[in-house]
Amino acid sequence: MGFALGVLWRVEVSCIHGQTEPHKPAILKEVAALKTLKIRARSVRKRVTLIFPRHLVNVPLTYRLAKDFDVAANIVRARVAPNEVGTLVVELSGDIDQVEAGLEWVQSLGIEVTERAKEIQIDPDLCVDCGLCTGVCPTEALKISAPSWKLEFSRNRCVMCEQCVATCPVGAISTSL
């Protein structure tokens, strides 16, 4: 907060002394950097599983989250059909308070919300580095590195679609809680 006040003080002082032009680009860069830091500090990405009752499968959920709460919803997996219980795995991103408000709204509709606490586990003793999992990974979280030809897993890119689990011929890939 002190940094922001210092920036504002410099803006006011430079305006009083009539020196707005020489210092303006530097001050604008500092203010823009401060806004970027604030946005990054408040934004969150959260993976959740939504289970819809039969009568709610026609609710335009991702549209309402975007329109009413300014929350982006990346659909990772969906199993939704008319007159059946629906399941949707989504990664929500946006302001922390907006994401939480959006999830509260979803729950108020009667949709069950569970946070995805699972993550992909690779057993290095079972993995034969065949690379089949890399072909089904939509985010390229799984790669074969060229010099060693070993499987590499980037957790921060993984969206938990679990396609690699079913593809692994030796069962080296699993999910854990």
Architecture of domain 119-176: 2-Layer Sandwich (3.30)
For the chain, the domains span 2-42, 43-115, 119-176
pLDDT along the chain (177 residues), means of 10: 41 45 56 52 78 86 92 87 85 89 93 80 93 90 90 83 90 82
| 43-115 fold | Alpha-Beta Plaits (3.30.70)
d(CA 71, CA 93) in angstroms, rounded, equals 6
- Cβ atoms of 11 and 22 within 8 Å: the answer is no
Q: What is the pTM of this model?
A: 0.52
